[in-house]
A and B are shown apart, each in its own frame.
Chain A
Amino acid sequence: DQQVKQNSPSLSVQEGRISILNCDYTNSMFDYFLWYKKYPAEGPTFLISISSIKDKNEDGRFTVFLNKSAKHLSLHIVPSQPGDSAVYFCAAKGVDSNYQLIWGAGTKLIIKP
C-alpha cells in the first residue's frame, strides 16, 4: 500500500502561471515532508520541506502547504519558469525513523513557453 501518493503523473502549465503539485498521505505518524525535483539523468535535488507542526513554508517562488486534517500537501510554484520542467517527488518521514523517507511516485511538470 502506498503511504504517499501523487495522483497526477503529469501536469502541463503555461510559463508565468502558477503550478500546483499535490500529494496525499495516509500515515498520521509522518512528522516531516519534503519536495524533491529531478531532471533526466540526474539524481533528485532537495527543493523545500515542511514540519508537521506548520501549515506553510515559503522559499522564493516555492511554497509548500500542509493540511494535516486532510493528510494533504501541495507545492506551489509562482511564477512557473521553463527550468521548472522536471519530475517532482513528495516524500515523508515518520517519527519512528530519523532517516528513512517514504516517497511518492512523482509528477512530471511541463512548463509550456
Chain B
Amino acid sequence: DTGVSQDPRHKITKRGQNVTFRCDPISEHNRLYWYRQTLGQGPEFLTYFQNEAQLEKSRLLSDRFSAERPKGSFSTLEIQRTEQGDSAMYLCASSPPGQTVQETQYFGPGTRLLVL
C-alpha cells in the first residue's frame, strides 16, 4: 500500500497527558498537511510543511501543539497537556511537488483521539 499512512489509528488518553501522532506521506511527496476534524464538522487546517520547513500554521494551533518533519519525510504531531476539547480526528495529507493548489492532496485514514 503506497498511500498516506497514520499511526496510531486510535488513541485514548487521560487529560493532561502528552500524545504524539505519526504520518508517513506518499514517497516523493514533498508537501505535508495536518488537519483536525471534530464530529459533524469539516477538517480544519492546522499546519503545512514543504520538505522539512513548516511554512504555514493556523491560528488554531495553540502552543500545546507542535509539528515536525525533521528529514522532510514522515511528520509527527504532538499535543502536550491534552484537554477534552482536543478529542477529534487528526488527518494528515500529502501532495507532490509542483502543485500550487490543494486539489491533489492525498489524505491518510486519520488518527482518532479521545481525551478522557
Contacts and interface: CB of A to CB of B under 8 A. Distances in A.
A25 interface: no
A99 B42 contact: no
Nearest to A91: B42
A45 B110 CA distance: 13
Contacts of A106: 41-42
Nearest to B38: A105
Nearest to B55: A99
Nearest to A47: B103
A83 B106 CA distance: 20
B45 interface: yes
Contact of A99 (B56, B91, B108, B109): B56
- What band does the interface of chain B fall in when counting residues whose beta carbon is under 8 Å from A? 20 to 34
Interface in B97-114: 100-110
B33 interface: yes
Contacts of A98: 56, 100-101
Contact of A43 (B44, B103, B104, B108): B108
Contacts of A44: 43, 91, 107
A1 interface: no
B48 interface: yes
A41 B9 CA distance: 10
A42 B5 CA distance: 11
A92 to B, nearest CB: 10
Contacts of B41: 103, 105-106
B101 A89 contact: no
29 contacts: A4-B42, A34-B102, A34-B103, A42-B107, A42-B109, A43-B4, A43-B91, A43-B106, A43-B107, A43-B108, A43-B110, A44-B43, A44-B91, A46-B103, A46-B104, A46-B105, A93-B101, A98-B56, A98-B100, A98-B101, A99-B48, A99-B55, A99-B102, A100-B56, A101-B43, A101-B102, A103-B43, A105-B40, A106-B42
Interface of B: 4, 31, 33, 40-45, 48, 55-56, 58, 91, 93, 100-110
